[in-house]
Structure 1
């Protein structure tokens, strides 16, 4: 069995088909832990993808996809709402990619990019209290809890990381 090495790539226009497949295939899986994106997300995906790329080009966000050797999207790691040297980290991994340390390595890589490429000084993140996997990834990548919040009506935590 060959060892594949998924690559982190900055989101591009040609990622759209693989990204849509990723979101469709994992829709139920994601909905178990975070609010569902809704049907409109899927029916207007191409339009939304173009909007995201325009916002990325303007420096508002930095979007990344984790891509397998075969070109499939295995995860997303995004830095959104860039302002004042800070951004919010968000990520989601495919169900078939879970438990392999991919989220931890991809988040670590994006933290490095945030400092070296994007000139950011700090990152923040949020997760629900019951999302043990997400909390573990944040802990392993240098984030520290910074207070309790409510996230979609559920108890959650804020995290911060200086870069």
Structure 2
């Protein structure tokens, strides 16, 4: 059973492998990270850990029993009880419900462990998979149109104090 783990220094090799193996797959639905990401990975990983230590981001990896990374699930720009959710799942782990289950788990962590009350997310209109994960997990479209690296998208929100789809807990 895959496990959601908070990002650690020793995750670096498996995370870099995940990003390299899935680069082409990810580029079909989200903006490519660019060559500099891979060239400067060690420094970027260290910077992410510093952001996490400062409490402005919470980075997580979905890891299988062998330590391979199946997905990234991040809460970024943490401030005033809210954060932005971002996620990506390996091609080999897609279409199995892992993204939805992990987003739901992360929403629970956001409320109970990180004290957050609101999560925001966005997905490109042509990224059906991410939009499906968000709605299945309980995020509600805000009607806000956003641009994601030049692609039209839609904003989503989840009031964690109310539960999925705005229902009271």
Whether these two folds match at TM > 0.5 is yes
How far does the alpha carbon of each residue in 1:11-51 deviate from its partner, in whole angstroms, 9 at most, with x for none?
00000000000000000000111111111100110111011
How many angstroms apart in 1 are the aligned matches of 2:140 and 2:49? Answer: 30
Instruction: Tell me what 1:143 maps to.
Output: 139
Structure 2 counterparts to residues 70-149 of structure 1, below 5 A: 70-146=66-142, 147-149=144-146
Q: 1:150 offset after TM fit, Å?
A: 2.0
Instruction: Tell me what 1:57 maps to.
Output: 53
Instruction: Tell me what 2:154 maps to.
Output: 157
| Structure 2 residue corresponding to 1:41, chosen from 16, 37, 43 | 37
How many angstroms apart in 1 are the aligned matches of 2:92 and 2:154? Answer: 26
Q: Secondary structure at the match of 1:124?
A: strand
| Count of paired positions | 159
Q: Secondary structure at the match of 1:26?
A: helix
Q: 1:158 offset after TM fit, Å?
A: 0.2
> Which consecutive residues of structure 1, in runs of 5 or more, have no partner in the other structure?
none
How far does the alpha carbon of each residue in 1:113-148 deviate from its partner, in whole angstroms, 9 at most, with x for none?
000000000000000011111011000111000122
Structure 1 runs of 4+ with >3 Å offset: none
How many angstroms apart in 1 are the aligned matches of 2:11 and 2:135? Answer: 29
> Which consecutive residues of structure 2, in runs of 5 or more, have no partner in the other structure?
161-169
TM-score calculated relative to the size of structure 2: 0.93
How far does the alpha carbon of each residue in 1:32-81 deviate from its partner, in whole angstroms, 9 at most, with x for none?
11111111100110111011101100001000000000100000000000
Q: 1:151 offset after TM fit, Å?
A: 1.8
How many angstroms apart in 1 are the aligned matches of 2:18 and 2:151? Answer: 26
